[in-house]
Structure 1
């Protein structure tokens, strides 16, 4: 088995490694996404408008679902696949920036997933606003050599153009929704409609040509809408759409309650993770209750809940009434990397730091961001930490065993200062000091700086192996280096008994 980041720095992708061959898969010209561009921020304004003037996602989603039902989609929105009792599938989250980090995932994914029955894209299929013409280089081209069907659930970025392109690609070339009646003047809905971003004229003109890249019969799949379930072998996989603001409308909530009554063991796939960054986010359902209420109910037999949206890997094994549910974040499929070194020492739902797993390791995340800030601020000598320095200072600040033993290194005042400035988590009870914007502000305004275009990228994908006895989850790393392309390392693994 190849070294992972938990074994060696080389296994993490550091050092003078040979670059991978992923660039051969890329188109000649790649447009880089820049969230510093005011035009890009303006195009992606719908999430802010929804939080200010009311979220129309639920109503729009209901219209899409009604259209699909009228076209003959199954009323229960369940896809029934003729899988054997033993099969495998992939989960890839937050993929579609169309640049080097996304394509770097592909070679390892094709190798580790060559015998899988299908794949699921979990959240944010296309950045920045889910446009139809972006599907060529951000969906069809990168996954053209994956010979099985791909299902998807939308993320908030796919909703920035009211989900039209997503529905055309994944739901049987669904036609556009008819226009709605204009809202009454001077209402919140009226103000929202004046400012709402909509697809540009002619968007999707290249879609027919792009489809040829995944045109084999074995690659085709049509799903009944933006949320759905798959019955495959001994399990039911339930996928929900959390829209622009990370919640469920009442209609989808009623459907989720209904499909959860099936007696089979279940895996939930959601655009918004329920445990993330050491916090509990149960996901509200309009009208009352939460998604996690349904996941925790022993009658529903959920064994795992896998969410995208956050661009790294995390796992929380939560004990619920004598059983363990694996809550997983799997959003490292291509978009810029969310830091893990900002996650405080974990203590949530009786999950401690010894139980918690993440990728990249906190030390590697801190080393990555220290290089990034050193380059952007032109202060390399001050900011840049070696991977050993970063690993050691993380262990000191959080009081934890490092994920990988650091080499002989001395923690200096500069090391501690850089770790503090870059938002490194701290032990409970310690006061926060001034930090540079690494987490929320950084990822909203400065994401292009964390979308580096040379390895290591610290991307990942999930392989799920199902049998009547157990579900096995494995997180594979994709660094962009040749060694991890040829033999992708496993960064985390857990087996969940079903019997």
Structure 2
């Protein structure tokens, strides 16, 4: 087994190394996605409009599901593939930026997932707005050699064009839903409708051609809607659609409660994680209750809840009335990396630093971002931290034992402490709001989405789950973009979840 980031800095991808072969998979020309481009931000405006003028996605989803039901989708929305009691599947989240960091995950994914029965994408299949024209280079091409079906739950970016392209790709060209009734003039809904971003009439002209990259019968997955369940061996995998704002509508909530009943062990896949960055986000259900209420109910027998949306890996083993539920963030499948060094010392739901896991390690995250900011501000000598300096200062500021010990001769100088403070190491949001230097807020909230890099290490990740009647073995694999980690993807975290 290859070294991981918990073993050595080289295992994390730092230092001289041979670049991976992922670049051979990429198109000749790749349009670099910039989250600082006003055109991109304007196209992705629907999330802001929904928060200002009311979220219409629940009603849109209801009409979409009704159209699929009329077209013959199963009423219980359960897929029942021919899967043995012992099988494996992959999970990767927030994949579709289409750049080097997405393609860098592919060789390791194929290596670790060659014998798996299917894969699931958890959130944001396509950036920036879920356009059908982007599926060719951001879904079909990168995963053309994955031999099994791929299912998906949508993220907020897939909803920026009302999920039209997502349903065309994953739901067997389902018929479009009935149009929304026209709102009364001069109302909030009317204003939202005027500003709402919609797909171009010509969007998806090349979708049929793109499908040829994954046209083998064994690669074909047809799911009954944006939310679904898969009965596979001894487990039921339940996928929910959290829309634009991270909530679910009453109709989906009623289905979730119904499909969660019974003794079969269950794994939730959601576009919005329930525990993330040291905080609990239970996910509200319209009309009352939360998704986490459903997960915690002992009669529903959930053993894990895996969510995307946040672009890194985190795991919280939470004790729920004497049983452990593994709450996992798995959003490192291709998009820009969300920092982990800004996660404060973890103390939530009985989970502390000793039990908490994340990837990239906080020190590697700080070292990565110090280089990003050094490049953007052209202050390389000041901002750039070595991996050892970043690891040491994170451990000092949070009062934790580093997962990878820094070199004994490393010194935490005033400059190192100042850079760590400017980049928000381990600070909670309420304290960050009082931080006087605007650099910290500006770079972590604005430049973080613009921090896509085009050379390793990328700190991407994906999951493999091996299921038997007795247990589920969950492993988080790293993808750095280096050749060594392509040939033998390192395991950054592993846990065995009992089913009996």
TM over 0.5: yes
2:63–2:178 Cα contact (<8 Å) kept: no
C-alpha deviation, 1:35, in angstroms: 1.8
C-alpha deviation, 1:177, in angstroms: 2.8
Alignment map for 1:267-282 (pairs within 5 Å): 267-282=267-282
**Residue in structure 2 matched with residue 240 of structure 1 by the alignment:** 240
**Residue in structure 1 matched with residue 466 of structure 2 by the alignment:** 465
Runs of 5+ in structure 2 lacking a partner?
Answer: none
Structure 2 CA distance for aligned equivalents of residues 175 and 438 of structure 1: 47
1:153–1:226 Cα contact (<8 Å) kept: yes
Distance of aligned partners of 1:430 and 1:281 in 2 relative to their CA distance in 1, 3 Å threshold:
closer
Structure 2 CA distance for aligned equivalents of residues 413 and 328 of structure 1: 36
**Residue in structure 1 matched with residue 486 of structure 2 by the alignment:** 485
Task: Tell me the SS of whatever aligns to 1:67.
Answer: helix
Structure 2 CA distance for aligned equivalents of residues 267 and 111 of structure 1: 24
Task: Tell me the SS of whatever aligns to 2:12.
Answer: coil
Q: Is 1:175 paired with 2:175?
A: yes
Distance of aligned partners of 1:436 and 1:9 in 2 relative to their CA distance in 1, 3 Å threshold:
farther
Task: Tell me the SS of whatever aligns to 1:298.
Answer: coil
| TM-score in terms of structure 1 length | 0.98
**Residue in structure 2 matched with residue 164 of structure 1 by the alignment:** 164
**Residue in structure 1 matched with residue 207 of structure 2 by the alignment:** 207
Number of aligned residue pairs: give it.
Answer: 498
Q: Deviations over 1:375-421 (max 9, x none)?
A: 11000000000000000001100110001010120110000000000
C-alpha deviation, 1:449, in angstroms: 3.4
Structure 1 CA distance for aligned equivalents of residues 29 and 429 of structure 2: 47
Alignment map for 1:135-150 (pairs within 5 Å): 135-150=135-150
C-alpha deviation, 1:33, in angstroms: 1.1
Structure 1 CA distance for aligned equivalents of residues 381 and 109 of structure 2: 36
2:269–2:305 Cα contact (<8 Å) kept: yes
1:423–1:435 Cα contact (<8 Å) kept: no
1:118–1:150 Cα contact (<8 Å) kept: yes
C-alpha deviation, 1:444, in angstroms: 5.5
**Residue in structure 2 matched with residue 91 of structure 1 by the alignment:** 91
C-alpha deviation, 1:435, in angstroms: 5.3
Q: Deviations over 1:49-93 (max 9, x none)?
A: 000110000000001100110111100000011211100000010
2:473–2:494 Cα contact (<8 Å) kept: yes
Task: Tell me the SS of whatever aligns to 1:450.
Answer: coil
C-alpha deviation, 1:37, in angstroms: 1.5
Distance of aligned partners of 1:443 and 1:385 in 2 relative to their CA distance in 1, 3 Å threshold:
closer
C-alpha deviation, 1:14, in angstroms: 0.1
**Residue in structure 2 matched with residue 418 of structure 1 by the alignment:** 419
Alignment map for 1:401-480 (pairs within 5 Å): 401-407=401-407, 408-426=409-427, 433-434=435-436, 442=443, 445-447=446-448, 449-480=450-481
Q: Is 1:349 paired with 2:349?
A: yes
2:36–2:450 Cα contact (<8 Å) kept: no
1:422–1:436 Cα contact (<8 Å) kept: no
2:361–2:403 Cα contact (<8 Å) kept: yes
Q: Deviations over 1:311-350 (max 9, x none)?
A: 0000000001111000000000000000000000000001
1:473–1:494 Cα contact (<8 Å) kept: yes
**Residue in structure 2 matched with residue 28 of structure 1 by the alignment:** 28
